[in-house]
Amino acid sequence: MAFCPICRSEYLPHIHVCAECGAALTDALPSTESPDSKSPSVEILASDNSIELQMAIGLLEENRIPFLLGKPDLDPFRLNTPGHAIRVLEPDAKKARELLEIYLKSEGTRFICESCGAELAELPETCPKCGKSPTG
């Protein structure tokens, strides 16, 4: 059988892409239980973007960092709660975040100032070009 690592749907072996979320299927599902239940886990990524989640899972597997895939932490300040979250054990959180940060920067993540249209490498409180809030 084939499985979606994101939404955990099961498919016939000849199917290679999840019909639910578009993720590439795998032969086994990622763990849903903490590898060491004595250590608390930390959410390092919450997203609905299956490509971003797959890349993060691949980076963690490649670097042998155990992870959990599940529902995101409840946060009253999130306007839209993503459907999936990746958690790692607390001692691995720093390294996992560094790996994801390197990936996101290498992908050329850019922000656009809504006030003046300037392209920004990160999202500051005020745009260096126009001095206004980049989020409008």
Q: Which CATH number fits domain 31-109: 3.30.70.790, 3.40.50.2000, 3.90.470.20, 3.40.630.10?
A: 3.30.70.790
pLDDT at position 34 is 45
Q: At a CB cut-off of 8 Å and minimum separation 6, what does 115 contact? A: 127, 130, 132, 133, 134, 136
Q: Where are the beta strands (DSSP E) in 12-110?
A: 41-47, 67-70, 84-89
pLDDT at position 16 is 84
Low-confidence ranges of the chain (pLDDT < 50): 34, 109
pTM of the shown model: 0.52
What are the extents of the domains in the chain? 1-30, 31-109
